[in-house]
Amino acid sequence: MKTSRNARAGFTLIELLVVIAIIAILAGLLIPVLARAKDKARATVCQSNLRQLSMAAMMYDGDHGTYPIGWPLAEWLTAPTPPIWYRQLQPYVGKSQKVAGQGIFVCPGSLQRKDQKSGAALVAGGFWGYLAYAQNAFINNGSKTTGTRQVVDPVETVLYGDTDGWDACLYPDGANGANVCYRHSGGSEKSTETDRGVVSGGRRTKFRANLAFADGHVELRRAAPRRLFTLERD
């Protein structure tokens, strides 16, 4: 009797294989769910970042009568601190204008090659390591004359949006240099039309990009057509 009980105390090979198979099935079901939850959390933080940036741009406009400069003219770049939107907004988020990007200027879902040669480590930060958003290229790209008064349709006019961090200005889908990055909802850094080679992987079917609008709201969108960039009502 004692020998018989000891023989039945452990798992048989078949029972062990069944348990392993069940664990594998459960892992296969849970891992995609956890990945989607993580992606959604990053997208939510990204929306918060963009909302803060759009509010900072409104405060900047209230003080200066224009939005920040999207990209400076060549002569402006020689200044000790070149006037560019991700520097000009720093005082409105509690930092010095000498700081380039970082903090809320970085989407937590963005990627940057930490080692350009090996590509071994990827961290949040965009291509340059400090920026993952860009300002609408129709707003103060080489000028400093556009403010809220020029935006006729604030609900349908983009201020800031997801990019891979290469450009300071944001360009619509289909345009020369189109660079809206659809990294959320299963997308990647290669989802942008202008691929900078930040990370491998092609377009996917459910990608989304966060866009902040001139009225202060943020949307997770599939596309960024030109009509969302122009200041007039269309």
In this structure, are residues 164 and 188 in contact, taking their beta carbons and an 8 Å threshold?
no
Distance CA 149, CA 167 (A): 26
Tell me if 107 is assigned to some domain. yes
Element (H, E) at 230: none
Residue 207 is assigned to a structural domain of this protein: yes
Residue 114 has pLDDT above 70, yes or no: no
Question: What pLDDT does residue 116 have?
Answer: 56
pLDDT at 81: 83
- Six token digits for residue 8: 């039945």
pLDDT tens for 143-200 read 899 999 999 999 999 999 999 999 999 999 999 889 999 999 888 887 888 777 665 5
Residue 195 lies in a domain: yes
Note whether 211 and 170 are within 8 A (CB).
no
How far apart are the C-alpha atoms of 137 and 105, rounded to whole Å?
A: 17
Residue 69 resides in a domain: yes
Which tens digit of pLDDT belongs to each residue from 40-89? 788 899 999 999 999 999 999 999 999 999 999 887 777 788 899 999 99
Which of 42, 47, 191, 197 is CA-nearest to residue 122?
197
pLDDT of residue 32: 62
E strands, the chain, are: 112-113, 122-123, 133-136, 158-162, 169-170, 209-213, 218-221
Domain enclosing residue 164, as ranges: 2-228
Rounded to whole angstroms, the Cα distance separating 51 from 161 reads 10
What's the whole-number mean pLDDT along residues 101-109? 94
Decide if 234 is inside a domain: no
Which has the higher per-residue pLDDT, 31 or 65?
Answer: 65
Furthest-apart CA atoms within the chain: distance in Å: 95
Domain count, the chain: 1
**233 occurs within a structural domain:** no
45 in any annotated domain? yes
CB neighbours (10 Å) of residue 218? Answer: 21
Residues 9 and 14: their CA atoms lie apart, in Å, by: 14
Give dist(CA 110, CA 183) in Å, integer: 7
Domain contains 222: yes
Looking up tokens 């509010």 gives: 55
At 137 the pLDDT is 96
